[in-house]
Amino acid sequence: MASETKLRELAGKGCPVYYFYSGERYLVRQAVSAAVRVLSADTDEEATMLDGAAPEIEQLIMAAGTISFFGTRRVVVMPELDPGAYSDKDLEELSNTLSSLENAVVVLGSVFELERNRLKTGKRAQKLIAQCQKLGFAEELAKPKPYELKIMLIDRAKEQGTTLPEGAAAALLERCGEDPFLLENEVDKLCALSGYQTVTTAMVAEMGTVSLEADVFEMIRMITAKNATGACKKLQTLLRLQQEPIAITAAMIGSYVDLYRVKLGASRRKSYGTVFKDFGYRGSDYRLKRSAETASHYTLNQLEACLQILLDLDKSLKSQPVEDQILLETALCRLAMAGSGR
């Protein structure tokens, strides 16, 4: 994603159009906000927001044609644009309006579906991207890799006069997943918790906010270590936090599928990075990298048995009148047994 330094450089050259697009909504939101912040830095006037997938072109023309009281160019934002929602005629009119801006700067954002790790943009979007590249600046935003997130977290802590060691940053990533907004929020809490001194891995462990995926994987690690008691305690915590049994089961199935795929790849001498590509995972390969060590404790047959146990659990939760917690705890004990005797 373009840095604020890059955005300021573009603004200094009078760039009239900024278009950010991605398969990840939070990345588009983040980039649009950064651009608006830079472009509005020298004025007290708020940006004009045109919400929706296909704002009327007349609205854009009116907003862009209005002269700012502050003597600066008005910032007009279309943060949720879907070029495919316009007719060819309206898209042509949008392009013409963008090419004739005098009193305004326009910031656009679009979220597209991902198909086999590639953006499914469509012809109209491709046409708009090409036009924005010609007129100003257009950027496809890729999901940050784990090491980039780690650097981002360390830098955010540093801005608050706090030291976030690399180990603590890695622990936070493992605990909370890879959502930058959640991570930044957690870093801010940790900085306050540390008294704006040094964040430790123990402090990260104390934090209450975690992703279901991270908690479930921790539970699976306990199962792998034959710690069924610890796994059941973790399960009880999740249920007290009102996590749905079906959601817990789905997350467990997802984690065991990751383990199976990594193990299958290893049996064919493939790295988790290759497995990541072969099975069409999105974003970074962090999930599979994390799964590699745990998968080494199982055979393929054991992982197949574990997946069958979870499929049976899913079916039972949806059909049997037995208490959900009993079904889940029974499944955890069966999983521990299925993974033993390697």
Between 207 and 228, whose confidence is greater? 228
Instruction: Write down how long the chain is.
Output: 342
CB 172 within 8 A of CB 189: no
Between 181 and 193, whose confidence is greater? 193
Residues in CB range of 89: below 8 A, 6 or more apart: none
278 and 179 assigned to the same domain: no
Amino acid 274: pLDDT: 83
Using DSSP, state whether 136 is helix, strand or coil: coil
18 and 118 assigned to the same domain: yes
Using DSSP, state whether 332 is helix, strand or coil: helix
The domain boundary, picked from 206, 230, 258, lies at 206
pTM, two decimal places: 0.53
- pLDDT band at residue 181, thresholds of 50, 70 and 90? low
Residue 227 has pLDDT above 70, yes or no: yes
Amino acid 166: pLDDT: 92
226 and 305 assigned to the same domain: yes
132 and 8 assigned to the same domain: yes
Average pLDDT over residues 69-78: 79
The domain boundary, picked from 109, 140, 171, lies at 140
Amino acid 310: pLDDT: 95
Q: Could you report the per-residue pLDDT of 246-262, keeping only the tens digit for each?
A: 989 999 999 999 999 99
35 and 157 assigned to the same domain: no
CATH number at residue 240: 1.20.272.10
Q: Could you report the per-residue pLDDT of 87-116, keeping only the tens digit for each?
A: 999 999 999 999 998 889 999 999 998 777
Other C-beta atoms closer than 10 Å to the C-beta of 89 total 9
Q: Could you report the per-residue pLDDT of 113-148, keeping only the tens digit for each?
A: 877 778 888 999 999 999 999 999 999 998 777 888
Between 209 and 23, whose confidence is greater? 23
Amino acid 283: pLDDT: 55
Between 341 and 260, whose confidence is greater? 260
Tell me how many domains the chain contains. 3
Between 241 and 256, whose confidence is greater? 256
61 and 110 assigned to the same domain: yes
CATH number at residue 197: 1.10.8
Between 199 and 273, whose confidence is greater? 199
48 and 65 assigned to the same domain: yes
The domain boundary, picked from 140, 163, 192, lies at 140
Average pLDDT over residues 143-156: 85
Percent of the chain residues topping a pLDDT of 90: 46
Amino acid 41: pLDDT: 82
CB 78 within 8 A of CB 109: yes
48 and 105 assigned to the same domain: yes
251 and 154 assigned to the same domain: no
CATH number at residue 11: 3.40.50.300
185 and 247 assigned to the same domain: no
249 and 314 assigned to the same domain: yes
Residues in CB range of 85: below 8 A, 6 or more apart: 53, 54
Question: Measured in whole angstroms, how far is the alpha carbon of residue 24 from the centre of its chain?
Answer: 6
197 and 236 assigned to the same domain: no
Residue 314 has pLDDT above 80, yes or no: yes
For 317, the domain range is: 212-338
